[in-house]
Amino acid sequence: MRVCHLHLNSYRNYDHLDLKVTSQLCVIVGANAQGKTNLLEAVYYLATARSFRAHKDDELIKHGVDEAFLGCTVDREVNPSEIRIRLTRNRPKQITVNARPLRRHLDLFGHLNVVTFSPDDLQLVKGGPGERRRFLDMELSQVSGAYRHDIATYQRVLRQRNNLLKEISERRADPELLQAWDLQLLDTGCRIMARRATAVKQLAHFARLVHHEITRGGERLTIRYRPFFGSTDEVGEGEWEDSESLRARFAKEIKRLRQFEMRRGLTLVGPQRDDLEFLINDQDVRSFGSQGQQRTCVLATKLAEIEFMRAQTGMYPVLLLDDVMSELDENRRHYFLGTVSGRVQTFITATGLETFPQEFLSQSQVIRIVRGKLS
């Protein structure tokens, strides 16, 4: 999977960009605040219909105009995709794939798969559980239409159940009404958890191999799925495949926390409270890992994410690296570049070329950006 062509109009600081991508390796060079990250963000937006920085689409439209346009051509080995997105202030975005309008934004997922890596990704280890759930959801949403559907359904059910719990806490609704929402929470939540558990098991396998190579066998990385009801150590090996067993455990938690939920007016059970654990030599990386260990952990996880997505779809995703070369020491930098070279289309931003080996640059398309223009 690779992006062959990128077209932008009135996007961020770009008046107009028409970029033909001629290499698997693209190094985007420029001083700070010239538009390097904006270009990566555009590729990410064309894959997911969302920004990894902005909260509102209006922030993506160039100041002083009312409309922006993004487009790209994706070579998918079998069926190429032409993705077009039009953003208009105070109106819903319009998305087409191969000239066909998409009814739901979720349907864009899978046409262009991406993995991002930036200094902010340290929050995957250092941040709260929400960061890790978002990571899992983005990874799985790109490779599984069923997971995308379940997440959307679950979020709707959760909102409705929370609204009802709030009314019950204020004595404005009958607690018996919860039963219907409990069933929907249970059905969809169990499917989400089973898929997460399976994905984390596969991701952990790839990450362990990568981490072993980076550290030359000096450390052992373990990634564990931590469901809302406790540690995975408490879950039998086959329990994730046994839907009835998982359902019974989930239902038990609903019953146990019923009174607490009605008093607080909030759902306290379900996959919206899941987490991931990262351990090096059985020690929690978040609490006990050094900055270097945390960086290596995230690096291994991101490379594992690439392999996981390839295993699921048969195609490598596009890799977006935002100012990470300066964050890695020489050993990790060479390992990372050597791993992705020739296999994964990679867009890398940098303020200069001095951190890249000459052999890498000789294979790369170097794109220089000055104030939102190719130079």
> Dihedral (C-alpha) 159, 161, 167, 172: value to the nearest 10 degrees?
140
More confident of the two residues 105 and 234: 105
Query: What pLDDT band is residue 30 in, cutting at 50, 70 and 90?
Result: very high
Q: H helices within the chain, ranges in order? A: 36-48, 123-126, 129-143, 145-169, 178-214, 243-256, 258-264, 285-288, 291-313, 330-340, 358-362
pLDDT at 358 over 80: yes
Mean of the pLDDT values across residues 19-24? 95
Structural domain boundaries in the chain: 1-113+315-375, 121-314
**What is the pTM (predicted TM-score) of this model?**
0.93
Kindly state the tokens that stand for 361: 């640059």
Mean of the pLDDT values across residues 98-122? 93
DSSP sequence for 176-209: GGHHHHHHHHHHHHHHHHHHHHHHHHHHHHHHHH
**Domain 121-314, what fold?**
Glutathione S-transferase Yfyf (Class Pi); Chain A, domain 2 (1.20.1050)
Rounded to whole angstroms, the Cα distance separating 71 from 239 reads 44
User: Tell me, what's the pLDDT at 239?
Assistant: 58
Q: Kindly report the average pLDDT of the chain as a whole number.
A: 92
Lay out the sheet containing 114-117: strands in order across. 114-117, 318-322, 346-350, 25-29, 364-370, 373-374
User: Tell me, what's the pLDDT at 167?
Assistant: 97
Tokens 């978002």 correspond to 134
Long-range contact set of residues 101-109: C-beta below 8 Å, sequence gap at least 24: 105/49, 106/141, 106/148, 106/149, 106/152, 108/47, 108/48, 108/49, 108/83, 109/47, 109/48, 109/141, 109/142, 109/145, 109/148
Residue pair 275/132 in contact by the 8 Å Cβ criterion? yes
Mean of the pLDDT values across residues 150-155? 97
DSSP sequence for 332-348: HHHHHHHHHTTTS-EEE
User: Tell me, what's the pLDDT at 6?
Assistant: 97
pLDDT at 51 over 90: yes
User: Tell me, what's the pLDDT at 331?
Assistant: 84
User: Tell me, what's the pLDDT at 222?
Assistant: 96
User: Tell me, what's the pLDDT at 40?
Assistant: 96
Question: Facing residues of 350 across strands?
Answer: 29
What's the gap between Cα 317 and its chain centre?
A: 12
CATH fourth-level superfamily of 1-113+315-375: P-loop containing nucleotide triphosphate hydrolases (3.40.50.300)
With b for 16 or more beta-carbon neighbours within 10 A and e for fewer, the 334-369 pattern comes to ebbbebbbeebbbbbbbeeeebbeeebeeebbebeb
User: Tell me, what's the pLDDT at 329?
Assistant: 83
Of the candidates 302, 282, 280, 276, which has an alpha carbon nearest to the alpha carbon of residue 291? Answer: 280
Phi first, then psi, for residue 182 (nearest 5°) are: -60, -45
Tell me the per-residue pLDDT of 242-300, one tens digit each, with 9 for 90 and over: 678 889 999 999 999 999 999 999 999 999 999 999 999 999 999 998 988 999 999 99
